[in-house]
Amino acid sequence: MIIKYSFARLFIIILFVILFPLVQKQWLNLYLFDIGNFSIYKILYYLSGLICPSLVIINSIDKFTFYKFKNKKINNYNIGGKSLLLLTISTLIIFSIFISEYIFLNLKIFSYLFFSDNTFFVDHIVNKKILFVMLTFILLLFNNLKLFIKKVSLINFFLISIFVWYSEIISNIQFNDNFFKNIFILENISYTNIIFLLSIEILYYLWSYISYGSHLSDWLLPIPIKKYVSSILYIITFYLFIILYYSIFFRT
């Protein structure tokens, strides 16, 4: 499967990225103008935070999940032996670590928002991280469970988006410096959320190619042709648009 976007879909994405943040701000302004009374604009603004994460999930399932590659020798160059073993293990390890860190980021946000003592997370959850990495590593070896891991990542993205939207944007709860300590995270959690999911999408695509069909059973992996590699650019481009959306929203 070669990831492609039609001109119409690309045009709709661009319009959404540019115009929707302005619409959200307008709803907020109309709500604040008449804050003492019930306003439909308040509901629209509150619910608008769910639209972008929902569209990301729909697009990911539609475009970035069910990959099909030509299950045959497509060129004269192949990866096998120790090189394929190293590629397989390193991809699985990196993929497992990213998944685990992403899940634990969500748990850390949840702990920060709903527990007054944030050491609950550190003392009872973080020290089990290595076990979670190992479990994820094993699950990714099975195709059906690989799809389950992908869906968990998308749910995780949606939950983080909701937590950030309804705490920082609506409830005005700011994440202080202690939250960012001892964790690889940008100072804007929305950007961190997107970059994590982008990394997982790329790793999922790479692992889908490596594990596709009889590649591993034959222990012979064709070096991907140009059109397969270019599909990664479509993934990156889409998530750059999502980052641009949040950049416009936070600046307007």
Q: What is the pLDDT of residues 197-213, one digit of tens each?
A: 999 999 999 999 999 98
pLDDT of residue 244 exceeding 70, the answer is yes
Range of the domain at 95: 53-236
The rounded distance, in Å, linking the Cα atoms of 29 and 31 is 5
Helix (H, G, I), strand (E, B) or coil at 80: strand
Q: Is residue 36 included in any domain, yes or no?
A: no
CA distances from 185 to 116, 124, 188, 245 (A): 21, 21, 8, 19
Number of domains in the chain: 1
What does the pLDDT look like over 98-124, one tens digit per residue?
999 899 888 888 877 777 655 555 556
Nearest to 16 by CA among 252, 250, 246: 246
pLDDT of residue 222 exceeding 70, the answer is yes
Q: Is residue 40 included in any domain, yes or no?
A: no
CB half-sphere exposure, 152, CA atoms < 13 A: 19
Q: Is residue 130 included in any domain, yes or no?
A: yes
The rounded radius of gyration (Å) of the Cα atoms in the chain is 21
Convert 163-226 into a string of H (helix), E (strand) and C (coil).
HHHHHHHHCCCCCCHHHHCCCCCCCCHHHHHHHHHHHHHHHHHHHHHHCCCCCCCCCEEECCCH
232, 202 contact by CB (below 8 A): yes
Nearest to 108 by CA among 148, 156, 61: 156
Q: Is residue 42 included in any domain, yes or no?
A: no
The rounded distance, in Å, linking the Cα atoms of 221 and 210 is 7
Q: ∠54-63-151 over CA atoms, to 5°?
A: 55
- CA torsion angle for 224, 228, 233, 239 (degrees, to 10)? -110
Q: Is residue 44 included in any domain, yes or no?
A: no
Q: Is residue 20 included in any domain, yes or no?
A: no
pLDDT band at 19 (very low <50, low <70, confident <90, very high): very high
pLDDT of residue 81 exceeding 80, the answer is yes
What secondary structure letter does DSSP report for 78? E
pLDDT of residue 91 exceeding 70, the answer is yes
Residue with tokens 């540019």: 18
Q: Is residue 216 included in any domain, yes or no?
A: yes
The rounded distance, in Å, linking the Cα atoms of 79 and 37 is 66
Helix (H, G, I), strand (E, B) or coil at 71: coil
